[in-house]
Amino acid sequence: MRGFLLSLGIVFGALLIPAMDAGSAMASGPAFSAVVHAADSVEAPQPPQINIEVNKGGGKWYASPVWIAIGVIGGILILMLIIMALRGSTTVVK
């Protein structure tokens, strides 16, 4: 109850001070305008904007680490086949 009465007194005091002394700097200063405009500046919160882009490119396929690994393994296999074919020797079992 005390808190309610205190806040009610502050509100009436803020409204009556400019009426009692209209010529002073305090009545027309920024302190009073901040009290009056505080309720005007409160806006409803905006809902969050979720932006999902499904088709955003993906880059170049040959820059992917998977394709680089496939290329390296394929290159090693082809190199092994070429070396084995050029050796030309056969295994002789006695």
What gap in Å lies between CA 20 and CA 86, rounded to an integer?
109
Closest of 42, 4, 38, 35 to residue 18, by C-alpha: 35
Domain count, the chain: 1
Judge whether 80 lies within some domain: no
pLDDT score recorded for residue 83 = 92
pLDDT score recorded for residue 74 = 98
Boundaries of domain holding 12 = 2-37
DSSP 82: H
pLDDT score recorded for residue 87 = 86
Q: Would you give the distance in Å from CA 53 to the centre of its chain?
A: 15
For 27, 68, 71, 73, 76, the CA distances from 61, given in Å and listed in that order, are 70, 10, 12, 17, 21
pLDDT by residue, tens only, the chain of 94 residues = 777 777 777 877 777 666 555 555 544 555 555 555 555 567 888 999 998 877 766 678 788 899 999 999 999 999 999 998 898 777 778 7
Judge whether 24 lies within some domain: yes
Judge whether 7 lies within some domain: yes
What gap in Å lies between CA 20 and CA 26, rounded to an integer?
11
pTM as predicted: 0.36
Judge whether 85 lies within some domain: no
pLDDT score recorded for residue 79 = 97
